[in-house]
Amino acid sequence: MDFNIPEDTQEIINGLKQFIEKKVIPLEEKNEELLTNPRKYFTEDGRHAPEVEELRKEVRMESARAGFYNMFGAKELGGEEFGPVTAVLVQEFLNKHYPNNKLIHPIVIPSPFTNGLTPVLNGLNDNLKSKYIDGIRSGEKTLCFALSEPDAGSDVWNLKTKAVKDGSEWVINGTKQWITNAPYADYCLLFAITEPELKERRKGGITCFFVETSSEGFSVDSAIPVMGDLGGEAGIISLDNLRVSQENIVGELHMGFSRAISGINTGRLGMSGKCVGSAQWALKKAVDYSQIRETFGKKIGEHQMVQQMLADCAIDIYAARNMALNCAWKIENTKKQPRKEISMVKAFCTEMMGRVYDRAIQIHGGVGVTNELGLEEGYRLARILRIPDGTSEIHRRTIAKSLLSGDLTF
Q: With 70 as the cut, is the pLDDT of residue 265 above it? A: no
Residue 109, CA distances (Å) to 50, 97, 115, 128 in order: 21, 15, 9, 24
Query: What is the model's pLDDT at position 267?
Result: 77
Which residues make beta-bridge pairs with 144? 188
123: DSSP letter: G
pLDDT band at 262 (very low <50, low <70, confident <90, very high): low
Q: With 70 as the cut, is the pLDDT of residue 313 above it? A: yes
End-to-end, the C-alpha distance of the chain in Å comes to 14
How does DSSP assign 160-211, residue by residue? --EEEEETTEEEEEEEEEEEETTTT-SEEEEEEES-HHHHHTTS--EEEEEE
Do 175 and 239 touch, CB atoms closer than 8 A?
A: yes
At 239 the three-state DSSP class reads: strand
Average pLDDT over residues 341-349: 96
Query: What is the model's pLDDT at position 268?
Result: 84
- Name the burial class of residue 288, with classes exposed (0-12), middle (13-18) and buried (19+) by CB atoms within 10 angstroms of its CB: exposed
Q: Shortest CA distance to 380 belongs to which of 351, 406, 354, 407?
A: 354
Q: With 80 as the cut, is the pLDDT of residue 286 above it? A: yes
Query: What is the model's pLDDT at position 335?
Result: 75
Q: Which residues lie closer than 8 Å to 260 by C-beta, 6 or more apart?
A: 120, 145, 147, 156, 191, 206, 208
Query: What is the model's pLDDT at position 153?
Result: 85
Task: Give the whole-number percent of the chain exceeding pLDDT 70.
Answer: 99
All domains in the chain, ordered by first residue: 7-112 (1.10.540), 143-260 (2.40.110.10), 264-404 (1.20.140.10)
At 220 the three-state DSSP class reads: strand
Q: With 70 as the cut, is the pLDDT of residue 87 above it? A: yes
Q: With 80 as the cut, is the pLDDT of residue 314 above it? A: yes
Q: Mean pLDDT, the chain, as a whole number?
A: 94
pLDDT band at 8 (very low <50, low <70, confident <90, very high): very high
Residue 370, CA distances (Å) to 288, 298, 306, 364, 365 in order: 17, 24, 20, 10, 10
At 381 the three-state DSSP class reads: helix
Query: What is the model's pLDDT at position 156?
Result: 84
Average pLDDT over residues 228-236: 94
Dist. CA 374–CA 410, nearest whole Å: 37
Do 248 and 62 touch, CB atoms closer than 8 A?
A: no
Q: Considering the entire predicted model, what is its pTM?
A: 0.94
Query: What is the model's pLDDT at position 128?
Result: 96
Backbone dihedral region of 167: left (phi > 0), alpha (psi from -120 to 50 degrees) or beta? left
Residue 123, CA distances (Å) to 161, 189, 248, 337, 375 in order: 21, 11, 10, 21, 41
Query: What is the model's pLDDT at position 371?
Result: 87
148-152, 215-219, 349-353, 362-366: range with lowest mean pLDDT: 148-152
- Other CB atoms within 10 A of residue 129 CB: 17
For the stretch 93-135, pLDDT in tens is 999 999 989 899 889 998 776 788 988 999 999 999 999 999 9
Q: With 70 as the cut, is the pLDDT of residue 68 above it? A: yes
Q: Apex CA 221: angle with CA 107 and CA 169, to 5°?
A: 90
